[in-house]
């Protein structure tokens, strides 16, 4: 069997038809209907660079020291590419990667690759509460949705190159993996006018998590809200932004549909495993926050669809899984033995039978990036979800009873015995993965060391100026503010 792995950027699954959203996504819905949809799939770090580093190595971000958008995967630890290369598997990537340039990351055939050469140094100043310049640029305020950016115009080119590769270059003498990477629905959101108009008329009253007042947020969410300019909009503008986000996801679905149509026209649908996922979600102003980095569901939960030989149609898997499981899944589909470096486990048995007694029954996520004032860790187990903030009070939700995460069960004078028991159980699971305090110290130390290194080379100041700040080794000072 061969594999097509489609990865998008910043797709919140609740903005998808097959996950219950109003978004018109017929092609993703068809994938879900003909295969398995994972209802509780999570990124292992809700930010582009560390998520993709974790994905490419099938390890947790703290294990590979990828904390934020300054620490792209550099191939120093083995990953998919090295493993496939050793086994003679043709591995081609097309589109955005966000991996380190000029490094042996094991990828011998990268096309239209967008690598991470420019560092987002805001994460290296985590001890400062601020709203970075240019943060609030994702919302479409105009009736026509605005003008497309250069990156968004490349989506069709990525699709066409993938189709051409399938038609003209896929090997017949060895297994292959085609990884198609889309920029959508990463901001900025400027869809075609007709699609924007369609959703503008259909985005109705916002759910409560999108309407929370600032004073109702916990300390970490308040800091993240400031960082992402969460309240520079009124509710109507949030509706417009969500309309644009829906429309851009529909455009992404159209690109995926053209790719899948080519697969069918080439007559290879029965020979490939098709996997669709996204690197993280989008808060869309839930809990006062835009973007990602947060450990709330809108940021950390991702769509994950698997379709192909042996995967029963219409399967829905509720058990928590995560993106570190994607590589083992692809590796098993190719007929390879498990990679020794992988933390994850193949999802094929779970998709095929609904059970896998040998896999862990929880998902783990961590966050150490810009605006995150405390090292943050999440464990999802069954209906329960713990967010541990180092040095601050933890947060506990029952997602079955409270899917919008509106009732923190520990934010009461006397938590129930059940809540306290779950807190202890989930903390034990978290501590089996890592020491939150130890990882937080390591992350902050390495971020400070990188800041000093970049200052010594001058790159820190170049990145500051590029992002609208004064050249300053110790602080981020917006230009014009002294």
How far apart, in whole angstroms, are the C-alpha atoms of residue 31 and residue 18? 9
For 38-69, how does the pLDDT look when each residue is reduced to its tens digit (9 = 90+)? 999 999 999 999 999 999 999 999 999 999 99
Q: Give Dmax (Cα) for the chain.
A: 66
| Position 144 pLDDT exceeds 80 | no
Parent domain of 59:
2-360
pLDDT(442) > 60: yes
Half-sphere exposure of 199 (CA within 13 A, CB side): 30
> Residue 181: pLDDT above 80?
yes
Buried b vs exposed e over 78-102: b needs ≥16 C-beta within 10 Å?
A: bbbbbbbeeeebbbbbbbbbbbbee
The whole-number average pLDDT for the span 277-302 is: 97
Determine contact, residues 24/250, Cβ cutoff 8 Å: yes
Residue 463 inside a domain? The answer is no
Cα gap 404→409, rounded to integer Å: 13
Establish whether the linkage from the previous residue to 185 is cis, with ω within 30° of 0.
yes
pLDDT exceeds cutoff 90 at 28: yes
Count CB atoms within 10 A of the CB of residue 368. Answer: 29
Q: Dump pLDDT digits (tens) for 82-130.
A: 999 999 999 999 999 999 999 999 999 999 999 998 999 999 998 776 6
Tell me, yes or no, whether 205 lies in a domain.
Answer: yes
- pLDDT bucket at 140, cuts 50 / 70 / 90: very low
Check which CATH number belongs to the domain holding 249 and give it.
3.40.720.10
Q: Work out the percent of the chain whose per-residue pLDDT is above 90.
A: 87
Residue 148 banded pLDDT, cuts 50, 70, 90: low
3-state secondary structure 141-203: CCCCCCCCCHHHHCHHHHHHHHHHHHHHCCCCCCCEEEEEECCCCCCCCCCCHHHHHHHHCCC
- Arithmetic mean of pLDDT, 425-451: 97
Task: Average the pLDDT over 386-410 and give the result.
Answer: 97
State how far the Cα of 288 lies from the Cα of 209, in Å rounded to an integer.
8
For 339-362, write each residue's pLDDT tens digit: 888 999 999 999 999 999 999 999
- pTM value is 0.95
Please give the pLDDT value at position 152: 54
- Identify whether 247 is part of a domain: yes
The stretches of 266-313 forming alpha helices (DSSP H) are 297-300
d(CA 422, CA 416): 10
478, part of any domain: no
Is residue 147 predicted with pLDDT exceeding 90? no
How many domains does one find in the chain? 1
pLDDT surpasses 80 at 134: no
Residue at 403 is within a domain: no
209-245 pLDDT tens trace: 999 999 999 999 999 999 898 998 889 999 999 999 9
Tell whether the model's pLDDT for residue 376 goes beyond 70. Answer: yes
The reply to whether 419 falls in a domain is: no
Looking at the domain assignment, is residue 432 inside a domain?
A: no
Q: How many residues does the chain have?
A: 482
pLDDT digits (tens, 9 = 90+) for 459-477: 999 999 998 889 999 988 8
Please count the CA atoms within 13 angstroms of the CA of 473 that sit on its side-chain side. 8
Query: Which pLDDT does position 143 carry in this prediction?
Result: 53
Q: Which two tokens stand for residue 198?
A: 């369609």
pLDDT at 150 over 60: no
Please say whether the beta carbons of 324 and 367 come within 8 A: no
Does residue 465 form part of some domain? no
Asked if residue 156 lies in contact with residue 162, where contact means CB atoms within 8 angstroms, the answer is no
H helix runs in 266-403, sequence order: 297-300, 326-333, 348-353
Mean pLDDT of the chain: 93
Q: Which pLDDT score, from 0 to 100, does residue 481 have?
A: 57
């Amino acid at each position: 069997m061969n594999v097509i792995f489609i990865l998008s950027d910043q797709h919140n699954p609740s903005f998808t038809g097959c996950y219950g959203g109003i978004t018109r996504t017929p092609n993703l819905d068809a994938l879900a209907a003909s295969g398995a949809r994972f209802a509780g799939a999570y990124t292992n770090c809700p930010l582009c660079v560390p998520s993709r580093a974790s994905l490419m190595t099938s390890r947790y971000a703290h294990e590979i020291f990828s904390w934020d958008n300054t620490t792209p995967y550099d191939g120093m630890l083995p990953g998919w590419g090295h493993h496939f290369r050793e086994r003679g598997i043709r591995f081609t990537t097309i589109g955005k990667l966000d991996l380190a340039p000029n490094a042996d990351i094991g990828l011998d055939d990268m096309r239209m690759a967008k690598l991470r050469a420019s560092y987002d140094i805001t994460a290296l100043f985590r001890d400062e509460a601020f709203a970075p310049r240019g943060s609030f640029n994702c919302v479409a305020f105009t009736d026509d949705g605005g003008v497309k950016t250069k990156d968004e115009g490349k989506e069709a080119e990525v699709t066409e190159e993938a189709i051409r590769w399938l038609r003209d270059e896929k090997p017949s003498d060895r297994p292959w993996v085609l990884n198609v990477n889309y920029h959508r629905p990463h901001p900025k959101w400027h869809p075609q006018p007709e699609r924007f108009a369609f959703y503008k008329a259909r985005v109705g009253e916002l759910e409560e998590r999108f309407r929370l007042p600032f004073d109702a947020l916990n300390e970490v969410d308040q800091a993240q809200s400031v960082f992402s300019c969460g309240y520079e909009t009124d509710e109507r503008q949030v509706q417009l932004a969500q309309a644009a986000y829906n429309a851009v996801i529909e455009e992404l679905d159209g690109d995926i549909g053209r790719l899948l149509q080519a697969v069918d026209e080439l007559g290879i649908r029965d020979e490939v495993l098709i996997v669709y996922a996204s690197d993280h979600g989008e808060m869309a102003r839930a809990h006062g926050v835009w973007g990602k980095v947060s450990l709330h569901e809108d940021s950390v939960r991702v769509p994950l669809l698997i379709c192909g030989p042996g995967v029963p149609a219409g399967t829905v898997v509720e058990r928590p899984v995560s993106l570190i499981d994607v590589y083992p899944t692809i590796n098993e589909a190719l007929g390879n033995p498990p990679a020794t470096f992988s933390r994850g486990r193949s999802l094929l048995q779970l998709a095929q039978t609904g059970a896998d007694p040998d896999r862990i029954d929880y998902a783990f996520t961590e966050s150490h990036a810009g605006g995150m004032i405390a090292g943050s860790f999440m464990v999802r187990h069954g209906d329960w979800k713990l967010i541990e903030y180092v040095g601050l009070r933890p947060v506990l939700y029952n997602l079955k009873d409270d899917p919008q995460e509106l009732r923190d069960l520990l934010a009461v004078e006397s938590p129930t015995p059940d809540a306290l028991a779950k807190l202890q159980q989930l903390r034990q699971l978290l501590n089996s993965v890592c020491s939150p305090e130890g990882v937080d110290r390591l992350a902050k130390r390495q971020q400070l060391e990188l800041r000093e290194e970049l200052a010594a080379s001058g790159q820190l100041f170049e990145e500051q100026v590029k992002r609208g700040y004064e050249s300053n080794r110790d602080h981020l000072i917006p230009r014009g503010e002294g």
